[in-house]
Structure 1
């Protein structure tokens, strides 16, 4: 989080788009082609389930298997690097309110200076008698990423700022819930340019580009968006000491 805090006020484009200010401060709307791709078509990996009746499988563009899907996620993640930090993370928890708060994405008032986000990923947690906790993912990272964007658009839980930034959030609360009481399963701050570039990158299809793969790997060296799948917990019962 040091990179987030180190930026000066002159580098931050702070825009407040609270409900009371709409539509004056946020007159922009998502373009039809963006809505069609991310909401109607809602891409997903063939090992997962689509979130829309018209969802398209990524393997129809040759994005199939661990290698191609890994390259796609590395391409996505590369666009969330800010300085030495990767500002995109996936979580096994049921909500990401605290993480979004740290990223400054828990309210409609955001600083627009770096793409960033946190998303919950569908999973199953198991714990054996030895204290070994294992997280089994129920969807691929690619499907998860596109699913949260789809949900945000479908539930109209997004804001488009006049300078091309888009705040996408996936809420786990009932409609009409006051902002201070909202809980989120995902949140992303991205640019319209990124949404267009990702759409074109997916449609172009997988190509075994060695140079691109190497560049992405170098940029992401030491950084990961992945969930920690295994962890050992201390299950020993410790009795409280009586004074």
Structure 2
């Protein structure tokens, strides 16, 4: 996957590259007002945020989520990763980005307005609360999330949104094996099963990344998600 990741940027259209450059400018500008990221130099943002978010773009399993007409939710999107980069390269997929901080939501609304992105919905909410709403519960083809929580906690945030036989794709760092060891109970209780793991090395020795692909195998018990704050304080073990 190393060569493919190195060429990701070259595969983008001029229009897409321009969108990423505008996104970068807004990220730096807003980062002076609210804490969005510690990475603010263009080379690092391009690799560690943009190309990292586009791992799905070169995944062997991207067709699980990134087909026209699919609905994908990005939970705990933060400064818009991976949701905004994916929305730029997959304009025929509908993305819902969820974050619990109002200031970050305002930033994201500015980004999609400035970029003219029409396939993104921004929601200010806690995942545990939104996951119980009939309008969002099990209404998505899949869910993605990057740098939010450990696997067992994150599964409780994501599984409620995904329809039966849908997919969850987690972006994880080097501690992935340890996290997976403690996720078996969560997988069982949350009606998901790990189907695939993909390993990547980012360009310019920027580190290793992993994509975990879980499939939803049945409808989720109404017991989940538990009340806001409980999944992180009392993770399923």
More helix by share: 2
Give the TM-score of the pair, scaled to structure 1: 0.25
Give the TM-score of the pair, scaled to structure 2: 0.26
Higher alpha-carbon Rg: 1
| Larger RCO (CA within 8 A; separation ≥ 6) | 1
